[in-house]
Structure 1
Amino acid sequence: MDLAGAQQLWRPEPGWLNTASYGLPPDPAWEALQAALAQWRAGTTSWEGWDASTGRSRAAFAELVGVPVADVTVGATVSQLLAPVGAALPGGATVLVPEVEFTSNLFPWLVHAERGVRVRTVPLDGLVEAIDAGTDLVAFSLVQSADGTIARYDDILAAARAHDALVVVDATQGCGWLPFDAGRADVVAVGAYKWLMAPRGAAFGYLSPRIRDRFTPLAANWYAGSDPHASYYGPPLRLAEDARRFDISPAWFCFVGAAPAMELLAEVGLPAIREHNVRLANRFLTGLGRPAGESAIVTVDVPGAAEKLAAAGVRAAVRAGRVRASFHLYSTEHDVDLALTALSA
């Protein structure tokens, strides 16, 4: 399906420019979720059918970020996915993080201060140059939540490899519109309720087999078993050999909604989605006399902007005192023009 055809599968009220807060479900995702909820209400089915969506979602995520399915774990939040990584850091390790970083990729390192783990923060544009022989792990967002800045992924990876530092990426604000090769990092975590348009409560992680054995599956459970259906009762410990050993038992309905949405993204293709999203973001920026950029998330500082947008029915966010607008494949030129008219009032 091409992008134009896919756009017919959404029902947004005009003026939704806030996918960086949460994404909107396409019809197949909404309908699948309603059907599952009806089954739950009436008790007409067993849970295994709902759980099949977890496997579909895992496969779709692997396709979107270009990694083997065996290297993907499923969870609920970014911080939960990163917790085993933080716990594996040796005492006295140094973690390098941008100074304006969403805390789900900051608190998992800061909580280990009592073990001597040191978190050093630097401006994002100086992150590459700050990686040195004393850096054990570099953690950053692929796309910054606050203003949509795209990290220098290739340069960060090269500098980290030169100093044998691990690379952890929060790709929540990029995965779903920005193509990238997750397999080049050591760990990639993604909350699926934004650009992947899943219900909140589904998250995905890439765990490189190069370093996976360094981590302990601290939330080990039946679903992480080598055969989940043979892992209901009793010892011995029998976890999966691949990244599934880090799975938590999934919130079924979140993945029921996630699978159709993510499969649709894969069908349309991220290059086409990126082109559409960035084109609309730049229509918005240039309409306000700002220079064009490369991100689907943009921020502007216009006096009274939040109030003007709200009065016009345009839904955006305020981050760090600036209006943040974000554009996805269901966004239209009409949405952009509504915002421009409001801000020009």
Structure 2
Amino acid sequence: MGLDITEAQKLWDPMPGWLDSASYGLPPRPAFEALQSALADWRVGRTSWRPWNDSTARARAAFAAMMGVAAQDVAVGATVSQMLAPVASSLPPGSRVVAPEEEFTSNLFPWAVSADLRTVPMDRLADAVDAGTRVVAFSLVQSADGRVAPIDDILAAARTHDALVCVDASQACGWLPVDASRFDVLVCGAYKWLMAPRGASYGYLSPRARAVSRPTAANWFAADDPFAAFYGPPLRLAEDARAFDLSPAWFCQVGAAPALELLNEIGVEAVHTYNTALAARFLTALDREPTGSAIVTVDVPGAEERLNAAGIRTSVRAGKVRASFHLYSTEDDVDQAVKALTG
């Protein structure tokens, strides 16, 4: 039995009006306190770095469980673009990559510097995949407006033409149930819906993807036995996805592990139901159709100024106000935002 949303919400301390989890998530108290404790130990040299490092294994395991994959198929990194770079840089010269033209640039630039990148509107992405396509790259949920990608159509087209499927799940993991094994590569920046400190990212790298990629940032932590790989040759990388690890940012992992473990305890399905209900409440009150996403946009004259004046924190993307609802958001937050936009 998972932890009830109502009980779980007692583990957060948000100021009213935070509707911008698509920019960054708020840490649960266990994650914040673990980070504060580690920082206090660091300040005075109270402990070895090994306990901080151990948080990496916990976070990796929690992310793998959330994604429905094995921990040995998950790499640890810092950012989305860094985790995509080994795949992109390993493509043969002239390889064609297709992606949505609306895509966030962290899932465009790595391909653009290494391949023949072609962009099309999201609703035409599946049709753009052909026999010459090497990679299909897209976000499961678009950052600008919260649209959920037509995953089944894109996957069917990619499989027909044997193209790798590489997805950015930063705006999905933590609220949208995801089976990472459906993709060749899935990467996620953990500071949004996973509510970790910025500097922790995780990626599922399938055996197929690993076979055609080079670990271009190989380091001691990517070794088969990191604690026996401090000095000297030969190259001795792990045989699984750990070969693509970066040496972890300790304090980011210290904060990440409790947050991911708590999400698993609550259950992403429950978070999805809660978040999308709040988003639907918001859109319905503004006479708009619910979209099924936890991220929504509205085009209301003076919206940004009205929301700011009411103490409601959102973002502006592509000229529209973007609101995003997570498990620490409340119906009162929604109603206050609607009041600001309609009053």
TM-score range, shorter chain: over 0.9
Rounded Cα–Cα distance in structure 2 between residues aligned with 1:64 and 1:211: 20
- For residue 314 of structure 1, give the secondary structure of its aligned residue in structure 2: coil
State the Cα distance separating 1:192 from its structure 2 match.
Answer: 0.2
Rounded Cα–Cα distance in structure 2 between residues aligned with 1:159 and 1:216: 26
Residue equivalent to 1:301: 299
Moved segments of 4+, more than 4 Å: none
State the Cα distance separating 1:132 from its structure 2 match.
Answer: 1.1
Residue equivalent to 1:98: 100
Rounded Cα–Cα distance in structure 1 between residues aligned with 2:277 and 2:293: 9
Residue equivalent to 1:188: 186
Question: Which of 3, 7, 10 lines up with 1:8 in the alignment?
Answer: 10
Residue equivalent to 2:77: 75
Q: Which runs of 5+ in 1 are unaligned?
A: none
Residue equivalent to 1:331: 329
1:17 aligns with 2:19: yes
| Amino acid in structure 1 at the alignment position of 2:288 | R
Task: Tell me if structure 1 keeps the 8 A contact 2:101–2:119.
Answer: yes
Identity %: 67
Rounded Cα–Cα distance in structure 2 between residues aligned with 1:247 and 1:326: 30
Rounded Cα–Cα distance in structure 1 between residues aligned with 2:5 and 2:67: 19
Residue equivalent to 1:276: 274
1:165 aligns with 2:163: yes
| Count of paired positions | 341
State the Cα distance separating 1:20 from its structure 2 match.
Answer: 0.1
Residue equivalent to 1:64: 66
Rounded Cα–Cα distance in structure 1 between residues aligned with 2:331 and 2:181: 35
Matches within 5 A, 1:223-262: 223-262=221-260
User: Could you list the per-position Cα deviations for residues 22-81 of structure 1 after superposition, in whole angstroms to 9, with x for gaps in the alignment?
Assistant: 000000000000000000001100000011110000000001111100000000000000
- For residue 271 of structure 2, give the secondary structure of its aligned residue in structure 1: helix
1:86 aligns with 2:88: yes
Matches within 5 A, 1:102-117: 102-112=104-114, 117=115
Rounded Cα–Cα distance in structure 1 between residues aligned with 2:242 and 2:95: 27
| Amino acid in structure 1 at the alignment position of 2:171 | Q
1:133 aligns with 2:145: no
Rounded Cα–Cα distance in structure 1 between residues aligned with 2:85 and 2:130: 24
User: Could you list the per-position Cα deviations for residues 110-158 of structure 1 after superposition, in whole angstroms to 9, with x for gaps in the alignment?
Assistant: 112xxxx211111101111111111110000000000000001122111
Rounded Cα–Cα distance in structure 2 between residues aligned with 1:95 and 1:120: 6
Task: Tell me if structure 1 keeps the 8 A contact 2:25–2:191.
Answer: yes
Comparing 296-305 with 205-214, greater Cα deviation is found at 205-214
State the Cα distance separating 1:210 from its structure 2 match.
Answer: 2.1
Rounded Cα–Cα distance in structure 1 between residues aligned with 2:238 and 2:130: 35
Task: Tell me if structure 1 keeps the 8 A contact 2:87–2:209.
Answer: no
Q: Which runs of 5+ in 2 are unaligned?
A: none
> CA RMSD, aligned part only?
0.6
| TM-score normalised over the length of structure 2 | 0.99
Rounded Cα–Cα distance in structure 2 between residues aligned with 1:164 and 1:102: 24
Residue equivalent to 1:31: 33
Rounded Cα–Cα distance in structure 2 between residues aligned with 1:317 and 1:61: 27
State the Cα distance separating 1:21 from its structure 2 match.
Answer: 0.1
State the Cα distance separating 1:92 from its structure 2 match.
Answer: 1.3
State the Cα distance separating 1:293 from its structure 2 match.
Answer: 1.4
Rounded Cα–Cα distance in structure 1 between residues aligned with 2:218 and 2:117: 27
